[in-house]
A = this chain, B = another copy of it.
Amino acid sequence: MSLKKLVDVVEYDRGCSNVQRIAVLTSGGDSPGMNAAIRAVVRKAIFHGLEVIGIQRGYSGFIDADMGPMNLSSVADIIHRGGTILRTARSEEFKTPQGRAKAHENVLRFGIQGLVVIGGDGSFRGANVFHEEYGLPVAGVPGTIDNDIAGTDYSIGFDTAVNTVVEAINKIRDTATSHERTFILEVMGRESGHIALTAGLAGGAESILIPELDNNINEVCEKLYRGYKRGKLHSIIIVAEGAASGLEIGKKLHEMTGLETKVTILGHLQRGGTPTAFDRILASRMGATAVEMLMSGNAKHMVGIAGGKIVSESLADTFKCKNAIDLELYKLAGILSI
């Protein structure tokens, strides 16, 4: 059977839904795969006969009416691009009732009947308030490399960011092996150790410091020493920015052990890069589901993924707590880096 035929079979009865025009924006920190999500929203909507408005620069564009219609071509050849073609921003104004009132004027002016918000928990908080005030149905799509949004196992961009860090570890490993030194890699994660833990385990790091656990420099040093005595001549330490400063750790380690230490701070390059297949599939599924949510009258939920299945989570529950790290992975990292 061809794609077309299969697609015909599942085609929604377009008469079922009263929604005719939806809007989409990206908000907060950008993450790789956001473009794939935008593409899925636009194409899925057009497939069902809807019109789509693209809003530029997140809530800022929502307030300033920086928006316009999108068609099939608007999202051609973007699935592989990092960043977001709709750009993003953090809007202080949208946190004020006045800001949101301006945005609501644009909802009326442009005839928007539903809004897809691709972003993090801060963005969902704003979407939720806006829904409560003005009743506009909103659908959240989790996009952040930090992977800290509650209600979904994975957020769009996390897999790409982890692979970016792992590639960095690969490169550092080359020189570490040749040079018999200790290397420290500071990665993103102010409140969450997802990137550090996953990349550290995948990269075979000797130590991983994350904000969720009490990090003890003495123990890190002790472990380094044990390895050193066993003949392990080099060591790679991954530090989440929320756990400690890479430069500070490097300095302390040097003072305590006399070992030469070298520090890399990856910074925002972790937000870029062409998205991995995983992130593109995730973004495609989530973007398409967000449109289905709006069509079916589901008014204030986030699309999530749990156990490999797409799920729906109350928007209000997504910013009350953080997606917890898996301590089993942390233990496993400890066992495998002996």
Q: A interface vs B, CB < 8 Å?
A: 1-7, 10, 26, 29-30, 32, 34, 39-40, 43-44, 46-47, 72-73, 76-77, 79-84, 87-89, 153, 159, 162-164, 166, 168-180, 183, 198-199, 201-204, 207-208, 213-216, 219-220, 222-223, 230-232, 262-274, 276-278, 280-281, 284-285, 288, 306-309, 327, 329-338
A43 to chain B, nearest CB (A): 5
Complex contacts, A87 vs chain B, CB 8 Å = 177-180
Nearest B residue (CB) for A335: B47
Q: Verify B201–A284 contact, CB threshold 8 A.
A: yes
Complex Cα distance A125/B249, Å? 35
Complex Cα distance A76/B327, Å? 24
Q: Copy number in this complex?
A: 4
Q: Verify B334–A6 contact, CB threshold 8 A.
A: yes
Complex contacts, A29 vs chain B, CB 8 Å = 175, 179
Cβ contact of A5, chosen from B162, B219, B327, cutoff 8 A: B219
A68 to chain B, nearest CB (A): 18
Known: A171-B269, A278-B278. 10 other contacts (CB 8 A): A2-B213, A30-B174, A44-B335, A46-B338, A89-B179, A166-B280, A171-B273, A174-B273, A183-B267, A306-B308
Q: Verify A281–B180 contact, CB threshold 8 A.
A: no
Complex contacts, A214 vs chain B, CB 8 Å = 1
Known: A174-B30, A219-B2. A336 touches B43 (CB 8 A): yes
Q: Verify B88–A178 contact, CB threshold 8 A.
A: yes
Q: Verify A332–B284 contact, CB threshold 8 A.
A: yes
Complex contacts, A280 vs chain B, CB 8 Å = 166, 201-203
Q: Verify B171–A79 contact, CB threshold 8 A.
A: no
Complex Cα distance A299/B172, Å? 35
A214 to chain B, nearest CB (A): 6
Q: Verify A334–B264 contact, CB threshold 8 A.
A: no
Complex Cα distance A211/B329, Å? 37
Cβ contact of A281, chosen from B174, B232, B329, cutoff 8 A: B329
Complex contacts, A80 vs chain B, CB 8 Å = 166, 169-170, 173, 203-204
Nearest B residue (CB) for A246: B265
Complex Cα distance A39/B207, Å? 17
Known: A2-B216, A201-B284. A43 touches B178 (CB 8 A): no
